[in-house]
Homo-oligomer: A and B are copies of this chain.
């Protein structure tokens, strides 16, 4: 199989990011399966038609059920709002389609488990959209840990700081409505941190968290989708039903300590998605705003020249870096998706599950929900109890 037909549900921020990755793939990874951008789906016919043309999809539809039942579609890419994930994924799985689903997998742990079950039952390949794993600098961190070059891990601290909600007049977009988004900063940003922790450190044993909604009422938007929202009548407001910020402490299965913070109220931070890991033999620090870099420290450096190194993960020695530009030439956010799809296509070719897959989505959901429970019950929650 040299080609794979894609059907995609969703056409806003993530739809654009995914489309771009599909377009880049054949050029930069010509030896991989070629994804064919068959059809895109969205509720607003006019908008999805425009998106199809702009993004380069052959066809468009406003009926996802039709899309998932088409014989000429091999893979369904779901990046509709979170509350629509489950129904689409389950139907697509039943129709035998491979599944790529944006995070968070679903609005609840139970839903995500249903999705995983459906995917496993049908035997399709499934992947979840934790794209940040695929930054070459993050993959370097993973390699250093896997090869034991950081030693035993003592600490994992991670923070995803944004500031787009600091303005109290920013309207009540769908990402602030619990029934659509599930949660706020926690599920949107925290989910990425949790997955990063799973990827780099391992299972989380127990958690305790704290949440806050700083601005409790916001103007109703006229329309909203992706990350955007346009203001309507400012005198009409509605309640923010998700968290503006959630912090939690964690203990990992391997004994490491974890600290997590996700917030949309970190003034001055547009998208600081960072982690630091301290091990017995070394440490690493990553900041997505400088996504081509990893700070690396080793205890066995000569004692007069010990210090964090700024490694540019653009050398040929780094994952995927060889296909892009010469050393020292940055790549952008978008190629975390390109790399993720390479993994998916490779997994399909090699008849294995890609990583991260729905299991990772479920595991993330489990921690998300454990944290929410710990916030509500004001006590430590054993993640495995959920």
A-side interface residues toward B, CB under 8 Å? 13, 16-17, 19-20, 23-24, 26-27, 30, 53-56, 140, 143-144, 154-155, 157, 159, 161-164, 166, 208-210, 212, 214, 227, 245, 247-249, 251, 255, 257, 259, 261, 263, 265-272, 278-283, 288-292, 296-299, 301, 303-312, 314-315, 317-318, 324-335, 378-380
Contacts and interface: CB of A to CB of B under 8 A. Distances in A.
Given A309-B305, A330-B291, A245 B154 contact: yes
Considering the complex of A and B, which 6 residue pairs feature the smallest CB-CB distances, nearest first?
Answer: A270-B328, A271-B328, A268-B297, A332-B332, A307-B309, A307-B311
A259 B247 contact: yes
A155 B162 CA distance: 12
The majority secondary structure among interface residues of chain A is: mixed
A269 B325 contact: no
- Identical chains bound together, number: 4
Given A249-B210, A325-B334, A265 B154 contact: yes
27 contacts: A20-B27, A27-B55, A27-B56, A30-B54, A154-B214, A155-B266, A162-B328, A164-B326, A166-B299, A212-B255, A212-B257, A247-B259, A249-B249, A266-B283, A267-B279, A267-B281, A268-B283, A268-B299, A268-B306, A269-B283, A269-B328, A289-B292, A289-B328, A298-B305, A304-B315, A306-B309, A331-B334
Given A214-B154, A333-B331, A282 B267 contact: yes
Nearest to A244: B154
Nearest to A297: B268
Contact of A263 (B155, B305, B380): B155
Given A27-B23, A27-B54, A143 B328 contact: no
Contacts of A327: 164, 270-271
A8 to B, nearest CB: 14
A265 B245 CA distance: 27
A304 B245 contact: no
